[in-house]
Amino acid sequence: MTSQSSSSVRVRYAPSPTGYLHVGGARTLLFNYLYAKKYGGILVLRIEDTDQARSTREHEKMILSDVQRLGLNYQEGPDAGGSVGPYRQSERLSIYAQRARELFDRDQAYYCFCSDSLLTQKRELAMKLGKSPHYDGTCARISKDEALKRLKAGEKAGLRFRAYQKDMVLQDEVRGRVEFKAGSVGDFLITRTPSSGEEEIAEGIGMPVYNFCCVIDDNAMGMTHIIRGEDHLSNTARQLMIYEAFGWKTPVFAHTAMVLGSDRQKLSKRNGDTSVFEYLDSGYMPEALLNFLVLLGWWPPNDFKPSSGHPEILSVDELAQCFNLDGLQKAPAVFDVQKLQWMNGQYIKHLPLDEIVKRAKPFFVKAGIEVDKYPADWFAQVVDLYRVEVSLLKDLPKAAALFFDASVTLETAAQDWLKSEKSQPIPGLISGFLESSSASLTADDVATMQKMVAEKAGVKGKELFMPVRALTTGMAHGPELKKVLPLLGRDRVLRHVQEIRRQAGV
């Protein structure tokens, strides 16, 4: 495996601005972020927006916002600047045109006048004949002079690279030695014929395509390592040819494991491939989402001991400390939403309370609860009570509804505890105790009340605690009453008891 010991590391994340940032892209970004952070390198964010029909600045803003919310800061990018910009491909078209013309002038590329419909027919015919659907070379035989005359006459064309007819070899940091056999790649487009409404990037040069742009940019921006998903491995043979054509040094490649859904099918929205925006807006913590994503296809060294004490709970700083390409795995990873929820619950339980309170507030406000009208310390205690009960921040308002809903509802499971013969004296005993208590109800008062009920009603264990909980909260389960009832206060608890007795007929 390749090791790196200096600040020369330069990596990139290059999304297309066609929508929100999805979890697969976030994982790729995270791997690159951690590698740069580990070695004191530079993370570049490059916007690949040559698909003019689908790319928008609004989508770009959405992606950058999601990256910011995840806390994965990059050092160079469209909004951060840098010495090798511009960082939007749409602003680098003259660079691609210059390089494309250079290949044409050296006869390493030629103009292809075949229409999209004709290319589709050729591809379908080749497949019917059991041949590889490579370009058949029709336009490769057109002389330069004839091609230029046709362009001057108004015909449109793309530029096609003359593929090398030899084995191309990649030494991948995850896959090991990968061979692309001679003939496995046919002549491929480096620029395409402009679609309706598109303009040529230079006279006679169509719109650049992905494999060409990314090599030109990765070289110009000094990328030392390309860490990306396995789905890009099939592109690599073409990209290696472009590197060779220009005589450029090839960066280190690491193609990470693909991610499958819990059904072991291709990841989709149905089985977990939701946008980062949706996950965060549903109450997932950025730290938990990143912690979960990094373990999809990577594992820390066996001797690394996280401060959490759990081998799978690691902070971003800890991840950066131990991350290396050695830990990347070949086997597909499974996106288990249930495990993500468990991990998120761990972060909600263990992050500092003031941080959880700050992040929880928007979810209470969204639920219609006027948080600011409650004392800050009281609200924090309520959040602290229920954060151990939930795995998503969005579930906190519902879990803590007892404290914010003026009405009280008796759950069926709780009502069952009030119907038993042993429970009959309990409602009167609790009402009497509360009516004679002081306005400030303490944990000691609650303990005294339960002891009194136990002695006078002759009950203990569940036959004591469950009816008391049912009468005071209307619920069968929840946090300790010694913590709940003092926060509710004597008057409100008494109103609960009166209403629940009415509903239960006790």
Residues serving a catalytic function are: 269
Q: Are the CB atoms for 261 and 269 separated by under 8 Å? A: no
Strands 158-161 and 188-192: antiparallel
**384 phi, psi to nearest 5 deg:** -65, -35
Q: Are the CB atoms for 122 and 93 separated by under 8 Å? A: no
Cα torsion 94, 95, 98, 103: sign: negative
| Cis bond upstream, residue 86 (ω within 30) | yes
Contacts 24+ apart (CB under 8 A), 374-378: 378/487
The whole-angstrom separation of Cα 484 and Cα 494 is 13
Closest by CA position to 390, among listed 460, 342, 432, 352? 342
**38 phi, psi to nearest 5 deg:** -60, -40
- Residue 85 neighbours by CB distance under 10 Å: 17
- Residue 98 neighbours by CB distance under 10 Å: 13
Closest by CA position to 463, among listed 505, 416, 408, 411? 416
Q: Read off the tokens for 134.
A: 């490579």
The whole-angstrom separation of Cα 401 and Cα 480 is 16
Residue 337 burial by Cβ neighbours in a 10 Å radius (0-12, 13-18, 19+):
middle
Angle between helices 462-473 and 426-435 (to 10 degrees): 60
Alpha-carbon 213 to chain mean position = 26
Q: Where on the phi/psi map is residue 247: left (φ > 0), alpha (ψ -120 to 50), or beta?
A: left
The whole-angstrom separation of Cα 308 and Cα 326 is 23
Alpha-carbon dihedral 341, 334, 26, 293, rounded to 10 degrees = 50
